[in-house]
A and B are shown apart, each in its own frame.
Chain A
Amino acid sequence: MRRPLLVLRVIISVTWYKSSEASSVSSYLRIRNLYKNFGDFTALKDISLEIEEGEFVCFLGPSGCGKTTLLRAIAGLDLQSFGSIEQAGRDISALPIARRDFGIVFQSYALFPNLTIERNIAFGLENAGRSKTEITGRVAELLDLVDLADQGKKYPAQLSGGQQQRIALARAIATSPGLLLLDEPLSALDAKVRVHLRHQIKELQRKLGVTTVMVTHDQEEALSMADRIVVMNHGVIEQVGTPTEIYREPGSLFVADFIGETNQIHSTITAANGLTVGKCALRSAAHGFAQGQQVIVTIRPEDIIPHEPGSRRAESDHSALAVTVGEMEFLGSFWRSRLTGAELGDEVLYADFSINAVRRLSLAAGSALTIELPADRLIAFPAGGDDVGNG
């Protein structure tokens, strides 16, 4: 009698989950209306966020944006002033660290200097009713997992930075916590080691399926590792989305500017999908601005398509402009080119042209060419808003 009932229950809950994707019931970590005040300074303003089980989420933003504060609130290291945090359906808002369920890796690694690698990893396994052999086995397994099987007898100071970081990771996941918190785990490492560790951490996370939150100020790190990125600025969430969403469809001028590089051009709205830049009218992605409104329109340098001068064979939906090439800067796989022209007025565009395109069009400083601006890559944001970066 019992079994069918259970099956029914599962079916119901699954369908219910599907019917309401945004529903918080299924979220593993649920943050609601979080505030953090340090005296008069508000470090976090009304943060609400949901993280699914098994997800890898990055908090990304410039220093002082509140990303570390948010992580420390989740860990209970620095309690939020207002708001609630739920983990696996349990309200952990005010719980002490020891009664929460997470492993954490700090930027400093915080390995115990006087204990061997083995004892560091075993630290959290002791006092939990495990036998000695059980612990030894688990430690060996973890050392294997982070590719440091032969380093167990050494002291932390005898390992390189990258190795220490992996030990810290092994220690954090030793007790199989439900949540893994990484606080700028790679920022103290060399560039090469960092790239290597990125893959290793991501791999490990996928293998273990542990819900992971990582704080970083390095957009490359976030874009390459995260399932979803939470872009933060001045204590608020600017945008939440997958790496491609964040990059292709920035939700605010700040995001457009902070992630990757982008041209910012002053512009006036002319129609529901049209605007003017300098002296020419451009078709853009659909936007909700009223006619005549001043906006900033953005386009990434690599989205600008070069054509031979004079060609006006742009697809119907795309605008074309005649420009002159200014300085060209060689950046390895492409040339960054400064573009000006009568049609642009006082505005300047930067475009990244592939080496092939430069050769094909024989581009050099002073060349004339026509550029195509795909309408769906021209994204408008309100002008005069704050956080306009320096482009």
Chain B
Amino acid sequence: MSATAENLRPAGRPIKARLGRDDLAMRGFMAVIALYLVIALALPLYAMLSKSFSTYQFDLTSYEFQVSDDTGNFQTAPITAAALNETLQAVPSEDLATSSDGRLPATSFFPEFSFRSPMIYRIRGTGEDVSFLIGSERFSGTAWQEVDSNTFRRVMLRPVRSQGLQNYTTYFSTPSLFRSIENSLFISALSTIITVTLAFGFAYALSRSCMRFKGVFRLIALAPILVPSLLPGIALVYLFGNQGMIKGLLLGESIYGPIGIVIGSVFFTFPHAMLIITTALAISDARLYEAAESLKASRWKIFWTVTLPGARYGLISAAFVVFNLVITDFGLPKVIGGQYNMLAVDIYKQVIGQQNFEMGAVVSVVLLIPALVAFAVDRQVQKKQVALLSARSVPYQPRANPRADWLAFGYCSLVAVFIVGLLAVCQFAALIKFWPYDLSLSMNNYAFDLMDGGGWDSYYNSIQLALLTAVFGTLVVFTGGYMVEKIKGFETGRGLFQLLAMLPMAIPGMVLGLAYIFFFNDPRNPLNVFYGTMAILVICTVTHFYTVSHLTAVTALKQMDREFESVAASLKQPFHKLFRLVTVPVCLPTILDISIYLFVNAMTTVSAVVFLYSPTTTLASVAVLNMDDAGDIAPAAAMGMMIFYTNAGARILHLIISKGVLKRTQAWRFR
């Protein structure tokens, strides 16, 4: 018994805060949004995980048959299906493994079965949970069911479910499946190296040269964000496909495969890498350059000792973001991948093509691993990047250097030509009657109602989805961010919430979509009323893009004085008054940024929603995919460009509104 220890912890229980109305209300709000994330994210993922460990098998030992003679009298003893199969070898043992939808006709075990025979058949299970179908009616249990021969041909055995690693064993012993891992890693790594290198050059030219038209270059570089990732694939088909305009440049190689995927990936990941690296270069400290120059270091040496190390976290972060985007992307390899299998496409093929949901779940889990690793590394790097920022840094001001500036201009022009070129090809393709035979202009390709994919309705559906996602998503994300940032105490709950909010970034869209099928399409789930509605598309899209929006909101909220809530409480004013009068108006620019981010992504996303749309909720981005699949490539390009113009229009509108709102409500910012 040491006296000091006694002093530090006096007798009695620690004081527990009594919660006020505000505390309870805020916790309530946070709980509701946390519940949303649990339902829209955690539970579906859990359903998917458990699905990947579920195996289905026909257990022949648990069925018994009895067959009558021609007069309907049962003379022979009951016999199990297993015993019948042993003598007949009707069903080979590898065919006994099946999926959750598997059905095995009972007639398989009776080779001389005829539906016209007068015999009567009996079937029963040996246990309570053995089940079989007669027609569409499900029976289970040990009671005999008696059917005539005409009905007997409609008796189907159902598989039993068990837990195990068998799906994974199957996956890794099927070369055509696990080869995709190697392919995905290879393509992602290659695309990452190319994109980050190109983007670094571009960002360097933007921030360290005095070339002209920087604003235009920046705008062009950001354009790929506005289109679905599969659009560059369509452009590449027109350029290098079997009837491509400049097919000869490939020297006989096929664009369908790794080459096409890599070129397209560079296109759609370029703006992401460029933004991250530009930020990293922008925070470099001019004082370091002055010091280096005063020490008479050469430009080359300065580049290697100051510029690159200063941007290293940005480069690492960009690399992981690009890697993650490529490995989880589904649209592009679907369009231009040809026979070259990648993980994300495998999920689609397993689920949509073969209806093998369990194997789809296994591929999803496999795809989760690199995505999670990339995510974790990126988070670590981001934390370090923040530490590099110092309030005393002096921003670097580039000085004119005609030769270097022209070099930068030339380089950026090349990149711009690449980006604008691919988009222009799509627009060109959309307006031509029939490439390459009839080059006259026409609007035929915009007659979407005549094609697969849902017609113009899918375009309007997409706009509806984008608007709903922007409004509903911003509301949920910003409220959630506010609560988790401003609640007093309650550390555990807030920690859990942060974790839930970060998770979506690590979940590939295909995985999320598939998880939604498992969770929401389960007839036992009362939430399955949402299945096939616009609501589930909105929920899925908000969840898919939750993390970036959440981080944006939290960053803005962190800049608000920590003591606003304390002041309001000490003045006996409820938190919602503060929220309404101060927090929202001050954060309005951020709120608008979040909503445009959600809008644009809802317009372009394919991966998650491709599993979830219904005939009444077809989407433009999915229509691009489906029309391309059906061979209507020109209309697919036309629809892709419609998405581009819509997003560009939304961006411009956002800019105008932001400026107007800023003028009206942000007068206080200016002295």
- Listed in ascending order, the chain A residues whose CB lies under 8 Å from chain B are 33, 35, 37, 42, 45-46, 75-77, 79-83, 93-100, 102-104, 106, 108, 110, 112-115, 123-124, 126-128, 155-158, 171-172, 174-175, 177
Residue in B20, B567, B577 whose CB lies within 8 Å of A106: B567
Q: In the bound complex, do residue A97 and residue B20 qualify as a contact, i.e. CB atoms below 8 Å apart?
A: yes
Residue in A80, A93, A103 whose CB lies within 8 Å of B570: A103
Interface flag for B572 (CB, 8 Å): yes
Residue in A42, A99, A114, A123 whose CB lies within 8 Å of B8: A42
Which residue of B has the minimal Cβ distance to A82?
A: B10
Q: In the bound complex, do residue B561 and residue A124 qualify as a contact, i.e. CB atoms below 8 Å apart?
A: no
Q: In the bound complex, do residue B17 and residue A94 qualify as a contact, i.e. CB atoms below 8 Å apart?
A: yes
Cβ–Cβ < 8 Å partners of B671 in chain A: 157-158
Cβ–Cβ < 8 Å partners of B524 in chain A: none
Residue in B15, B564, B567, B578 whose CB lies within 8 Å of A82: B15
Interface flag for B12 (CB, 8 Å): yes
Known A45-B8, A102-B570; judge A112-B14 contact (CB<8 A). Answer: no
Known A33-B10, A80-B15; judge A99-B582 contact (CB<8 A). Answer: no
Q: How far is the CB of B535 from chain A (nearest CB, A)?
A: 35
Which residue of A has the minimal Cβ distance to B10?
A: A82
Cβ–Cβ < 8 Å partners of A106 in chain B: 561, 563, 566-567
Cβ–Cβ < 8 Å partners of B561 in chain A: 106, 108, 110
Q: How far is the CB of B647 from chain A (nearest CB, A)?
A: 31
Which residue of B has the minimal Cβ distance to A104?
A: B570
Q: Determine the distance from Cα of A35 to Cα of B570 in the docked complex, in whole angstroms.
A: 23
Cβ–Cβ < 8 Å partners of A100 in chain B: 570
Which residue of A has the minimal Cβ distance to B584?
A: A114
Q: Determine the distance from Cα of A288 to Cα of B17 in the docked complex, in whole angstroms.
A: 45
Residue in A79, A82, A112, A155 whose CB lies within 8 Å of B17: A79
Which residue of A has the minimal Cβ distance to B11?
A: A82
Q: How far is the CB of B567 from chain A (nearest CB, A)?
A: 5
Which residue of A has the minimal Cβ distance to B568?
A: A123
Interface flag for B7 (CB, 8 Å): yes
Which residue of A has the minimal Cβ distance to B14?
A: A81
Which residues in chain B, 553-569, are within 8 Å of chain A measured between CB atoms?
Answer: 561, 563-564, 566-569
Q: Determine the distance from Cα of A95 to Cα of B569 in the docked complex, in whole angstroms.
A: 12
Q: In the bound complex, do residue B563 and residue A113 qualify as a contact, i.e. CB atoms below 8 Å apart?
A: no
Residue pairs across A and B with Cβ atoms less than 8 A apart, 27 shown, are: A35-B8, A46-B10, A75-B566, A77-B488, A79-B17, A82-B10, A83-B15, A95-B18, A96-B23, A98-B20, A98-B572, A99-B20, A104-B570, A106-B561, A106-B563, A108-B563, A110-B567, A113-B582, A114-B581, A114-B585, A114-B586, A157-B669, A158-B671, A171-B571, A174-B571, A175-B571, A177-B570
Q: In the bound complex, do residue A81 and residue B15 qualify as a contact, i.e. CB atoms below 8 Å apart?
A: yes
Q: In the bound complex, do residue A97 and residue B570 qualify as a contact, i.e. CB atoms below 8 Å apart?
A: yes
Q: Determine the distance from Cα of A177 to Cα of B571 in the docked complex, in whole angstroms.
A: 9
Q: Determine the distance from Cα of A37 to Cα of B12 in the docked complex, in whole angstroms.
A: 14
Q: Determine the distance from Cα of A110 to Cα of B568 in the docked complex, in whole angstroms.
A: 10
Q: Which of B16, B586, B668 counts the most chain A CB atoms within 10 A?
A: B668
Which residue of B has the minimal Cβ distance to A236?
A: B7
Q: In the bound complex, do residue A124 and residue B15 qualify as a contact, i.e. CB atoms below 8 Å apart?
A: no
Q: Determine the distance from Cα of A104 to Cα of B18 in the docked complex, in whole angstroms.
A: 20
Interface flag for B399 (CB, 8 Å): no
Q: Determine the distance from Cα of A93 to Cα of B660 in the docked complex, in whole angstroms.
A: 48
Residue in A104, A155, A177 whose CB lies within 8 Å of B566: A104
Q: Determine the distance from Cα of A79 to Cα of B563 in the docked complex, in whole angstroms.
A: 15
Q: Determine the distance from Cα of A165 to Cα of B669 in the docked complex, in whole angstroms.
A: 19
Q: Determine the distance from Cα of A82 to Cα of B667 in the docked complex, in whole angstroms.
A: 46
Cβ–Cβ < 8 Å partners of A104 in chain B: 566-567, 570
Q: Determine the distance from Cα of A42 to Cα of B8 in the docked complex, in whole angstroms.
A: 7
Cβ–Cβ < 8 Å partners of B566 in chain A: 75, 77, 97, 104, 106, 110
Cβ–Cβ < 8 Å partners of A99 in chain B: 20
4 further interface pairs, Cβ-Cβ under 8 Å (given A96-B18, A112-B578, A123-B573): A110-B566, A114-B666, A155-B668, A177-B570
Q: In the bound complex, do residue B571 and residue A124 qualify as a contact, i.e. CB atoms below 8 Å apart?
A: yes
Cβ–Cβ < 8 Å partners of A77 in chain B: 488, 566
Known A102-B570, A106-B563; judge A96-B7 contact (CB<8 A). Answer: no
Q: In the bound complex, do residue B570 and residue A96 qualify as a contact, i.e. CB atoms below 8 Å apart?
A: no
Which residues in chain B, 314-357, are within 8 Å of chain A measured between CB atoms?
Answer: none
Cβ–Cβ < 8 Å partners of B401 in chain A: none
Q: Which 3 A-B pairs have the closest CB atoms?
A: A124-B571, A96-B20, A97-B569
Q: Determine the distance from Cα of A285 to Cα of B345 in the docked complex, in whole angstroms.
A: 91
Interface flag for B19 (CB, 8 Å): yes
Q: How far is the CB of A165 from chain B (nearest CB, A)?
A: 14
Q: In the bound complex, do residue B573 and residue A114 qualify as a contact, i.e. CB atoms below 8 Å apart?
A: no
Interface flag for B253 (CB, 8 Å): no
Q: How far is the CB of A82 from chain B (nearest CB, A)?
A: 5
Cβ–Cβ < 8 Å partners of A126 in chain B: 573, 577
Binary per-residue interface labels of chain B (624-662) against chain A in the complex, 1 for a CB within 8 Å, 0 otherwise: 000000000000000000000000000000000000000
Q: In the bound complex, do residue B571 and residue A123 qualify as a contact, i.e. CB atoms below 8 Å apart?
A: yes
Q: How far is the CB of B310 from chain A (nearest CB, A)?
A: 31
Known A98-B20, A108-B561, A123-B571; judge A114-B665 contact (CB<8 A). Answer: yes
Interface flag for B22 (CB, 8 Å): yes
Interface flag for B296 (CB, 8 Å): no
Which residue of B has the minimal Cβ distance to A158?
A: B671
Cβ–Cβ < 8 Å partners of B582 in chain A: 112-115
Q: In the bound complex, do residue B570 and residue A75 qualify as a contact, i.e. CB atoms below 8 Å apart?
A: yes
Q: Determine the distance from Cα of A83 to Cα of B23 in the docked complex, in whole angstroms.
A: 22
Cβ–Cβ < 8 Å partners of A155 in chain B: 667-668
Q: How far is the CB of A72 from chain B (nearest CB, A)?
A: 9
Interface flag for B21 (CB, 8 Å): yes
Q: Determine the distance from Cα of A175 to Cα of B568 in the docked complex, in whole angstroms.
A: 12
